[in-house]
Amino acid sequence: MSETTPQQPLLDALKAWEANDVARSIQRMPERPETRGFQRLYTPLDAGPQPPPVEDQRWYLEKLGFPGQYPFTRGIQPTMYRSRFWTMRQYAGYGTAAEANERFKYLLSQGQTGLSVAFDLATQIGYDSDDPRAVGEVGQAGVAIDSLADMEALLDGIPLDQVSISMTINAPASVLLAMVIATGEKRGVPASQLTGTIQNDILKEYVARGTYIFPPAPSVRLAADTIAYCARHVPRWNPISVSGYHIRDAGSTAAQEMAFAIANAMTYIEAVLARGVDIDDFAGRISWIFNTQNNFFEEVAKYRALRRLWATLLKERYGAKKPASMHLRTHIQTGGATLTAQQPLNNIARAAFQALASVLGGVQSMALSCYDEALALPTEEAQATALRTQQIIAHEIGVTEVIDPLAGSYYVEALTDRLEAEAKALIAKIEEMGGSIKAIESGWMQQQIADSAWRYQRAVESGEQIIVGVNAYQTPEEQRPVGIFRPDPEAYRAQQARLEKVRRERDSAAVQAALERLRQVAKAPAGPDTNLMPPILDAVRVYATLGEICGVLRQEWGEYQPPTVI
């Protein structure tokens, strides 16, 4: 037996990882020149004068492994940020499509690498801008999109084959995706070349956010049809972004955020599998959005635990074989609920620490909540500051040269294990209840979040939880920033006029025929032969409006009435 035998399990695996995974990754995407001189990865072999016992090395290989290898605790790419930074987005959109288009072009000119679209409330719940229920909401919390004409204006001058488009839209996500597909077709960009994401996670709307339309079962059908359609026709698009973000902003704990999001994802997976789509044909395009809040080390551990939990689930329960199917690829937004209207400049520091935790946790895409968002829609200055914060983390503070630098910390590894165990226990509880839909319809999931939110609020009000500038360190006679952004009040009238013009100039007979085809498919039972995306796309192409398309589905499926949560 050689003297190096105790080192061999980990040392041999490390050499194999470098010779195979890292070498292939660098061939595709070379490491940045500024990473030279930094060791790529640290393991237990780098700690202490003696190699760890063989048992500890095997534990390391099983629980942590190497970046780009199962169970992906240390990251989903072999070289992580040494080769490529996360995608830097800022959530934006307001007023009319033309106004939002100007903001997007500004952000791209400032170095942003992808777009993240916010929609107004009327769009989010499937109403046209001239619907009486939309009064006061058009263009306020995001951009108003009524028809294909608006999507064409929103994306005017944006190279759709080069820029990824992320859209925070749920109940009518399939309709907005159809509008992007149709816009691409008109500009010679086929669906197969489009890159981007729709949120399309309707289940979390019932428990955390409220922009639902239909009852859960038909809503999951629509979401699953969209995922199945994209697997076959829009392969580079992420047809769902399962959201822990809004669950956390509603008041959940980190473990609840993890568990409820994964339980919801399991519901979508099972619905897509029922349509005859193989797990490896769509799981690699499931993306995520989580919420990074102020408990720095817990947030770092959360992303490590999420990757391990998801990879294990996909491999062991669903039989995924492709490594990409087991990747938890996540966008994050820093915590909107952590922003304060008092002393709003403090929010720059909060978002910076949350962004740093996200990077140390190994995320793939990021947007920072802007310092003035507790007061109004972000100004251009606030958006630019948020983007510059990401760029400072990427280039100036030395955290992107070494992969998963907090690995091996007793605290971080214990937190990772604890969060994984707590999330698993909650997922098991949801499965005992019959899955996410049952847990939502009974109000159980909503009640769990409400209870956590109440406990946190009680801690703030008692002073047990300090919020700087709110319940401690207040500034007497505080002056608020003067540059608060306000959408143009004329946007409502401009949008109505645009919608009226579309209706006047389109082929009304073609619209009615397309809507009737959609109605017939919606009436039929869910299944591989009754996918709703083709008739929705046909309706969009002839300029049927969002409200008309959702109106047909409202008539066939009804609207959701939530349970009472105390």
Within this chain, do residues 55 and 90 fall inside the same structural domain, yes or no?
no
Residue 538 belongs to a domain: no
Percent of the chain whose pLDDT exceeds 90: 84
- Residue 551: exposed, middle, or buried by beta-carbon count in 10 A (0-12, 13-18, 19+)? middle
CA distance 200 to 234: 15
How many domains does the chain fold into? 2
Looking at 275-284, 328-337, 475-484, 555-564, which range is the least confident one?
475-484
Within this chain, do residues 319 and 292 fall inside the same structural domain, yes or no?
yes
Looking at 60-74, 100-114, 235-249, 374-388, which range is the least confident one?
100-114
Boundary (domain end) residue, out of 45, 69, 93: 69
The three-state secondary structure class of 355 is helix
pLDDT in tens, 39-92: 999 999 998 888 889 999 999 999 999 999 999 999 999 999 999 999 887 776
Within this chain, do residues 430 and 287 fall inside the same structural domain, yes or no?
yes
What is the pLDDT at residue 481?
59
Q: Are 335 and 295 in contact (CB under 8 A)?
A: no
Percent of the chain whose pLDDT exceeds 70: 96
Which of 500, 490, 494, 493 lies closest to 545 in space, CA to CA? 500
Largest Cα–Cα distance in the chain?
Answer: 85
CATH of the domain at 299: 3.20.20.240
Cβ partners under 8 Å of residue 473, min gap 6:
none
Residue 566 belongs to a domain: no
Say which residue the tokens 């037996």 belong to: 1
Segment 290-303 shows an average pLDDT of: 98
CA distance 115 to 105: 9
Residue 329 belongs to a domain: yes
**C-alpha torsion angle, residues 173, 177, 183, 189 (rounded to 10):** 160
2 compared with 186, residue with greater pLDDT = 186
Within this chain, do residues 90 and 37 fall inside the same structural domain, yes or no?
no
Q: What angle do the packed helices 254-273 and 296-316 form, to 10 degrees?
A: 20
- The total of other beta-carbon atoms located within 10 Å of residue 411's CB is 12
Please check the confidence at residue 93 and state whether its pLDDT lies above 80.
Answer: no
User: How is residue 558 annotated by DSSP?
Assistant: -
The three-state secondary structure class of 397 is coil
Within this chain, do residues 60 and 104 fall inside the same structural domain, yes or no?
no
What is the pLDDT at residue 485?
63
- Measured CA to CA in angstroms, residue 529 lies from 123, 245, 292, 364, 534 at distances of 29, 33, 40, 35, 11
Within this chain, do residues 50 and 130 fall inside the same structural domain, yes or no?
no
Q: Are 103 and 92 in contact (CB under 8 A)?
A: yes
Segment 207-221 shows an average pLDDT of: 96
- Measured CA to CA in angstroms, residue 527 lies from 29, 171, 217, 336 at distances of 41, 20, 13, 38
Q: Give the amino acid at 488.
A: D
User: How is residue 401 annotated by DSSP?
Assistant: S
Residue 502 belongs to a domain: no
What is the pLDDT at residue 4?
46
Q: Give the amino acid at 353.
A: F
Which of 481, 246, 484 lies closest to 346 in space, CA to CA? 481
Tell me the average pLDDT of the chain. 94
Residue 544 belongs to a domain: no
Boundary (domain end) residue, out of 462, 491, 515: 462
What is the pLDDT at residue 50?
83
Within this chain, do residues 101 and 146 fall inside the same structural domain, yes or no?
yes
Please check the confidence at residue 402 and state whether its pLDDT lies above 80.
Answer: yes
Cβ partners under 8 Å of residue 465, min gap 6:
456, 459
Please check the confidence at residue 268 and state whether its pLDDT lies above 50.
Answer: yes
Cβ partners under 8 Å of residue 458, min gap 6:
none
Say which residue the tokens 């149709």 belong to: 182
Residue 356 belongs to a domain: yes
CA distance 358 to 364: 9
Instruction: Give the predicted TM-score (pTM) of the model.
Output: 0.93
Residue 287 belongs to a domain: yes
Within this chain, do residues 54 and 94 fall inside the same structural domain, yes or no?
no
Boundary (domain end) residue, out of 427, 462, 497: 462
Within this chain, do residues 160 and 236 fall inside the same structural domain, yes or no?
yes
Peptide bond into 487 cis (omega under 30): no
**Enclosing H/E stretch for 258:** helix 254-273
What is the pLDDT at residue 124?
97
pLDDT in tens, 475-497: 887 766 556 666 666 777 889 99
pLDDT in tens, 425-441: 999 999 999 999 999 99
Within this chain, do residues 304 and 242 fall inside the same structural domain, yes or no?
yes
Within this chain, do residues 19 and 98 fall inside the same structural domain, yes or no?
no
CA distance 539 to 516: 9
What is the pLDDT at residue 293?
98
Segment 536-555 shows an average pLDDT of: 98
Which residue range(s) make up the domain with 226? 83-462
pLDDT in tens, 322-368: 999 999 999 999 999 999 999 999 999 999 999 999 999 999 999 99
Residue 217 belongs to a domain: yes
Within this chain, do residues 326 and 441 fall inside the same structural domain, yes or no?
yes
Instruction: Extract the tokens encoding 208.
Output: 């955390």
